[in-house]
A and B are shown apart, each in its own frame.
Chain A
Amino acid sequence: MELGLSAFVIFFAAIFTNNILLTNFLGMCSFLAVSREVKSSLGLGLAVIFVMTCTSALNYLVYHHLLVPLDLVHFRYIVFIIVIAAFVQIVEMVIERFSPVLYVILGIFIPLITVNCAILGVALFMIIRDYSFSQSVAYGAGGGIGWTLAIVAMGGIRQRMKGAKVPRPLEGPGITLIIAGLMALAFIGFTGMIQIQ
Chain B
Amino acid sequence: MAKSKSMAIFVSGLWKENPVFRQILGICSALAVTNLMMNTLIMGLSLIFVTAMSNLTVSALRSITPVRIRMMVQTLIIASYVIIVDILLKAHLPDISEALGPYVGLIITNCIIMGRCEAFARHNTPWPSLLDGVASGCGYAFVLLTVAFFRELLGFGTVFGVRLMPGGWTNWTIMVMAPGAFFMLGGFIWVARSFGPRDGEKPEGAR
Contact = CB atoms under 8 A, between A and B. Distances in A.
A and B touch in the complex (CB under 8 A): yes
Interface of A: 22-29, 32-33, 74-78, 81, 85, 115-117, 120-121, 124-125, 128, 167-178, 180-182, 184-185, 188
Nearest to B178: A184
Give the 7 A-B residue pairs with the shortest CB-CB distance, closest first: A181-B182, A177-B186, A169-B193, A117-B109, A124-B102, A28-B27, A178-B186
| Interface SS majority for chain B | helix
| Interface SS majority for chain A | helix
A23 B25 CA distance: 19
Given A28-B27, A120-B109, A174-B193, A77 B181 contact: no
Contacts of B83: 74-75, 77-78
A35 to B, nearest CB: 12
Given A115-B109, A120-B108, A170-B190, A25 B102 contact: no
A23 B31 CA distance: 10
A24 B33 CA distance: 10
Contacts of A185: 174, 179
Contacts of B194: 169
A171 B83 CA distance: 37
B54 to A, nearest CB: 14
Given A32-B27, A181-B182, 13 more contacts: A29-B28, A29-B111, A77-B105, A78-B79, A85-B75, A115-B109, A117-B106, A117-B110, A121-B102, A125-B102, A168-B193, A168-B198, A184-B179
Nearest to B108: A77
A78 B108 CA distance: 9
Contact of A173 (B102, B114, B189): B189
A127 to B, nearest CB: 8
